Amino acid sequence: MRSGRISFGYSARMALGCGDISLALLTDLYQFTMAYGYWRSGRHREIAEFELFFRDPPFEGGFSLYCGLQEVLLYLRDFRLSDEEIAYLESALPSTVDKAFYRYLKTVDASEVTVKSIAEGSVVFAREPLMQVRGPLLVVQLLETTLLCLVNFASLVATNAARMRSAAGPDKMLLEMGLRRAQGPNGGISASKYSYIGGFDCTSNVLAGKLYDIPVAGTVGHSYVTSFSSLEEVHPKVLEPAGGKDPALDFLVLVEAWLQQVCQLLGVSPEHVNRGELAAFVSYGIAFPLNFLVLVDTYCVKRSGVPNFCAVALALHQLGYRAVGVRLDSGNLARQSVEIRSTFRACAKHFNVPAFEKLSIAISNNVSERSLLQLNQEDNEIDVIGVGTNLVTCPLQPSLGCVYKLVQVNGCPRMKLSEDQDKMTIPGSKTVYRLYDCHGHPFLDLMALEDEPPPSVGREMELHVLGRWEETRKVTPGATEVLHRVYFKDGQICQHLPTISDVKAHAQHSLNMLPSEHRKLHNPKPFKVALSEKLYHLLNNLRRTSHLQ
């Protein structure tokens, strides 16, 4: 059995930012009360299978990106209860609990658990099992809450990020910058990781960058600009030319000379330029001559921020450096980006500095999926978009709503009946296939019983589409794919786990394979998930039997 290469995340505890705290108690109390009930009745060793799935696609869309699998595997590998944790449980549970139960808990781990799963980063759909968990009933019951916790938020954020990437288009650089607004440090770290997988390019979160090898980026805040009030506060005032061969020059003198020329070109009075802002830009330019990107909307964009930036950027160019660009955090971002690009082009032509045309224009300011769509409908010259609150908190839908339901015990199918058909579970141990048309595009996911033969390529088959139970449909697959692989068995991770960049690439490939009608952000065509004839008949028989009892 091969051991998985842990390529992003050091352990389940580190992945959640919990340090040395065990995750065995990161669950609901009723999992332990049920565990005791199983043990007390002698059923704790019965082999059970649970499925983890969601009932409705998030954000009223057509799909979700499945994430969180690696954290699940790390958690399972480490799963066991310490003496201290068992002592706490003894204090929390009723005094009538048999002490032998606590002695039994000392032997519990995930060594007899088998997990089959869809690959992390895959496009997935409602009602199909993302993960199948099989093992002793007591153990797989104890895993429920933690597995849901590890998958729900991860998949939700990745899906939110993928939708924002779609709204922004492929050419904009997207920066996740939501740590300060996230639901605590664990939520912030998870959001940085899974927004990167979902399609963002980088994060402002330094710890996430370190833990998961995500590119980090950032600029300056308004506080840096407002902390300066005059040019006398600039120290040091000199900067060596690039290459370090020539002596350092008085950078402030160079900037002031360039400012006069820029103001004349732009028709701006030098008296209107805020000197504290200029001092901040000069100071930052001296500190970061190769990474000069600053906020230009602290005071007045047109009359102060942009002229001050251009003066410092031109002075840097004179010394052999190249500025990066500007950031806007207020006002009409699209219109201002067009005006700023026009200024950059004018400077490039007038001062014969071609690189000025390509300076980056970044924006932020409560960016959402809706505002990204609006930006794409307007003329704009934006290169980089920073997204915070609306990405990491998922305000349009705070939970994916994954559930973990029992489907089999000791080889016998189990199902939950409900007057609400959407809450009814689909019984039995299953294999899930993705069916492709003759052009290589997926058109349907098929759930079949584990012991059924796989669908045959080029052969017509009959099936039942979820939500339209009584209706049969005939399809002929051009190709088929088994979606689940065994990821955990005998206490070991048994797949070679991909890097975070590989998962990100797989997510993008999986999205690109999905026809555009299913990827639409609003009113998408639902992707069909169906049952085989044999599975449908099992479900109907169990429904009838249960109603007779």
DSSP 83-131: HHHHHHHHHHS-TTS-HHHHHHHTT-BSTT-EEEEEPTT-EE-TTS-SE
pLDDT at 10: 41
pLDDT at 480: 97
pLDDT in tens, 336-348: 999 999 999 999 9
pLDDT in tens, 103-130: 999 999 999 999 999 999 999 999 999 9
pLDDT at 419: 66
Stated as kind and residue range, the H or E segment containing 315 is helix 306-318
Task: Tell me the average pLDDT across 165-187.
Answer: 96
Q: How far apart are CA 274 and CA 337, in angstroms?
A: 21
pLDDT at 547: 60
| Distance from chain centroid for Cα 70 | 13
pLDDT at 161: 98
pLDDT at 467: 82
- Which pLDDT band, with edges at 50, 70 and 90, does 365 fall under? very high
pLDDT at 102: 98
pLDDT in tens, 68-98: 999 999 999 999 999 999 999 999 999 999 9
Task: Tell me the average pLDDT across 26-32.
Answer: 97
pLDDT in tens, 380-401: 999 999 999 999 999 999 999 9
* Contact (CB, 8 A) for 39 and 104: yes
Listing DSSP states for 425-494 in one string gives ---S-EEEEEEE-TTS-EEEEEEEETTSPPPPTT--EEEEETT-TT-EEEE--SEEEE-EEEEEETTEE-
The yes-or-no verdict on residue 193 having pLDDT over 50 is: yes
pLDDT at 7: 47
Q: Which residue has the higher pLDDT, 205 or 10?
A: 205
- Which pLDDT band, with edges at 50, 70 and 90, does 21 fall under? low
* Contact (CB, 8 A) for 39 and 29: no
- Which pLDDT band, with edges at 50, 70 and 90, does 545 fall under? confident
pLDDT at 424: 86
pLDDT at 122: 98
Q: DSSP character for 216?
A: B
Stated as kind and residue range, the H or E segment containing 48 is strand 47-54
The yes-or-no verdict on residue 4 having pLDDT over 50 is: no
Classify residue 526 by burial, with Cβ atoms within 10 Å: 0-12, 13-18, 19+. middle
- Which pLDDT band, with edges at 50, 70 and 90, does 20 fall under? low
Handedness of CA 264, 269, 275, 280 (dihedral sign): negative
Q: How far apart are CA 266 and CA 283, in angstroms?
A: 23
Q: How far apart are CA 37 and CA 41, in angstroms?
A: 6
Sequence-ordered alpha helix ranges (H) in 381-499? 389-392
Of the listed ranges 24-33, 271-280, 420-429, 448-457, the one predicted with least confidence: 420-429
Q: How far apart are CA 455 and CA 446, in angstroms?
A: 9
The yes-or-no verdict on residue 136 having pLDDT over 80 is: yes
* Backbone conformation region of residue 119, classed left if phi is above 0, alpha if psi is from -120 to 50, else beta: beta
Q: How far apart are CA 288 and CA 323, in angstroms?
A: 9
Task: Tell me the average pLDDT across 401-412.
Answer: 97
* Contact (CB, 8 A) for 165 and 200: yes
pLDDT at 544: 83
Task: Tell me the average pLDDT across 424-452.
Answer: 96
Residues sharing a CB contact under 8 Å with residue 81, sequence separation 6 or more, in sequence order: 22, 24, 25, 89, 105, 106, 108
Paired tokens of 11: 């352990």
The one-letter amino acid code at 203 reads T
The yes-or-no verdict on residue 1 having pLDDT over 90 is: no
- Which pLDDT band, with edges at 50, 70 and 90, does 423 fall under? confident
Strand 402-409 to 202-203 pairing = unpaired
Q: How far apart are CA 61 and CA 163, in angstroms?
A: 9
The yes-or-no verdict on residue 548 having pLDDT over 70 is: no
SS3 312: helix
Task: Tell me the average pLDDT across 10-25.
Answer: 58
Helices (H) and strands (E) in the chain, counts: 19, 23
Q: How far apart are CA 548 and CA 364, in angstroms?
A: 60
pLDDT in tens, 280-297: 999 999 999 999 999 999
The yes-or-no verdict on residue 13 having pLDDT over 80 is: no
Q: DSSP character for 497?
A: P
pLDDT at 468: 81
Task: Tell me the average pLDDT across 527-537.
Answer: 95
* Contact (CB, 8 A) for 388 and 181: yes
